């Protein structure tokens, strides 16, 4: 009997400690994260404050106030959308268990953020969002779900499918994975038709600094249909865009970009264009940590767009960057087209680009080819290709395909060894 009482008392003490430890870990981690990222949020024009509303041994409630300032909208080039800053409040209601916490969120916007006439046109929208936390495994899992809904538009409803998103991270958000799935949308109006099928996003990232992450990400969109009453249209079965970033030397980072699509169709010019088996694999290298931060950020910090671009180019040019075209290939109306090679730059500044001096700081070797059936599929290109061949700038291989090698070396631009320009 006494042993049973001791066991029960020990278990109760452990449970009590587990609940206290969970709350303590949560409060400490949030305070550290807000302090650590305060400058990064400020640069974005965002301020985040946390207020405790209620707390007991088995539950807690707090609220996060996210202030989107005027700077936030100016940096997005939306200064006229909202003339003043406004607050988004996230009410956080949690149940606390031994070494585990489960929370549900309610998000509130100011009444005048979404115009009343727009609110009246939204039918069927609902959402559910929350998260859970375990201090023992140092893990945070969150979710956001939205329902199907429609937006009435003078008899032409815009239909939005359901969305689900989950994320997992450590308590400091130094490791983060995201999985998102959205059923797409469709709009049918008198002047255009648009539909997007399923969209999925996956990301596995590591915190670099501030709020900049490196790692892998991938977005796939199915069944894209865009059209207008004048006959212009674009369609794609599936498009997948992926990227992978890493540090390959001290303060030198690269980003690998991949694009794949089995079929696209464009109708809007002189003749319809069909692209099949599109594949792109391009590596951008020689980026500093600061350059990556500037590429992944949209804040202007009061600077003009030109100043922001100039600063980013100056930073990108410090590490002798370049890019490798591992593969760029597709079939255009049945004609194979391919491109591969490498372009590198000596250290440069934005001024070098403006003055054209960047050409003298470039080195390139790029190989291109166009299939032999170009005459029937893309007849408008044949006179140009034949002229290039006669000038020695391109050649025909044994199968009749057009090929060329473009180089930039020693301030000289050449095609198949024929000098085109000297810088």
Structural domain boundaries, residue 100: 1-113
* Domain contains 410: no
User: What integer pLDDT is reported at residue 81 of this predicted model?
Assistant: 62
Cα–Cα distance, 7 to 184 (Å, whole number): 55
Number of domains in the chain: 1
* Domain contains 68: yes
- pTM: predicted TM-score of the whole model, two decimal places: 0.84
* Domain contains 7: yes
User: What integer pLDDT is reported at residue 64 of this predicted model?
Assistant: 94
72: Cα within 13 Å, side-chain hemisphere: 18
Summarised one tens digit per residue, pLDDT across range 387-400 is 888 888 888 888 88
User: What integer pLDDT is reported at residue 164 of this predicted model?
Assistant: 97
User: What integer pLDDT is reported at residue 12 of this predicted model?
Assistant: 67
Cα dist from 20 to 8, 58, 59, 288, whole Å:
18, 9, 11, 43
| Cβ neighbours for 269, distance < 8 A, ≥ 6 positions apart | none
* Domain contains 213: no
Cα–Cα distance, 172 to 209 (Å, whole number): 12
Cα dist from 106 to 31, 89, 259, 338, whole Å:
21, 8, 37, 51
Q: Are the beta carbons of 85 and 69 closer than 8 angstroms? A: yes
Q: Which of 14, 34, 350, 339 is nearest to 172 (CA)?
A: 34
User: What integer pLDDT is reported at residue 34 of this predicted model?
Assistant: 86
User: What integer pLDDT is reported at residue 396 of this predicted model?
Assistant: 85
Summarised one tens digit per residue, pLDDT across range 359-381 is 889 999 999 998 888 877 777 77
Q: Which of 207, 211, 171, 140 is nearest to 29 (CA)?
A: 171
User: What integer pLDDT is reported at residue 189 of this predicted model?
Assistant: 66
User: What integer pLDDT is reported at residue 255 of this predicted model?
Assistant: 94
* Domain contains 337: no
User: What integer pLDDT is reported at residue 204 of this predicted model?
Assistant: 97
* Domain contains 307: no
Q: Strands of 109-146 (E only): list them.
A: 122-123, 127-134, 139-146
* Domain contains 60: yes
Residues of the chain with pLDDT under 70: 1-12, 78-83, 155, 189-192, 229, 269-270, 297-303
* Domain contains 361: no
């Amino acid at each position: 009997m006494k042993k049973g009482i001791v066991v029960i008392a020990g278990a109760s003490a452990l449970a009590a400690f587990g609940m206290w430890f969970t709350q303590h870990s949560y409060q400490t981690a949030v305070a550290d994260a807000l302090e650590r990222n305060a400058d990064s949020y400020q640069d974005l024009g965002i301020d985040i404050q946390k207020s405790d509303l209620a707390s007991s041994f088995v539950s807690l409630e707090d609220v996060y106030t996210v202030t989107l300032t005027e700077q936030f909208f100016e940096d997005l080039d939306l200064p006229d959308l909202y003339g003043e800053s406004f607050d988004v409040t996230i009410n956080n209601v949690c149940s606390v268990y031994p070494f585990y916490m489960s929370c549900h969120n309610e998000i509130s916007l100011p009444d005048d953020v979404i115009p009343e006439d727009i609110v009246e046109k939204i039918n069927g929208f609902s959402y559910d969002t929350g998260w859970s936390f375990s201090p023992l495994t140092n893990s945070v899992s969150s979710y956001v779900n939205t329902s199907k809904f429609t937006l009435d538009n003078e008899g032409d409803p815009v239909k939005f499918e359901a969305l689900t998103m989950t994320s997992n991270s450590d308590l400091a958000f130094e490791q983060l994975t995201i999985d998102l799935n959205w059923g797409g949308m469709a709009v049918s109006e008198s002047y255009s038709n648009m539909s997007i099928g399923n969209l999925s996003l996956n990301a596995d990232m590591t915190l670099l600094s501030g709020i900049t992450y490196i790692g892998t990400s991938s977005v796939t969109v199915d069944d894209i249909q865009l059209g207008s009453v004048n006959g212009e249209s674009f369609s794609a079965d599936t498009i997948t865009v992926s990227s992978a970033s890493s540090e390959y030397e001290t303060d030198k980072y690269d980003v690998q970009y991949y694009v794949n699509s089995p079929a696209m169709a464009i109708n809007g010019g002189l003749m319809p264009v069909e692209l099949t088996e599109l594949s792109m694999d391009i590596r951008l290298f020689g980026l500093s940590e600061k350059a990556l931060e500037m590429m992944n950020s949209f804040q202007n910090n009061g600077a003009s767009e030109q100043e922001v671009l100039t600063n980013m180019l100056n930073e990108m040019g410090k590490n002798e960057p370049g890019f490798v075209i591992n593969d760029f290939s597709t079939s255009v109306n049945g004609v194979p087209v391919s491109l591969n090679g490498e372009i590198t730059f000596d250290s440069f500044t934005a001024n070098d680009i403006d003055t054209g001096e960047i050409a003298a700081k470039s080195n390139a070797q790029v190989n291109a080819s166009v299939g032999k059936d170009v005459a029937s599929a893309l007849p408008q290109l044949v006179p140009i290709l034949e002229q290039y061949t006669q000038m020695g700038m391109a050649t025909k291989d044994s199968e009749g395909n057009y090929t060329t090698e473009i180089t930039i070396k020693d301030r000289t631009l050449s095609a198949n060894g024929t000098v085109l320009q000297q810088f």
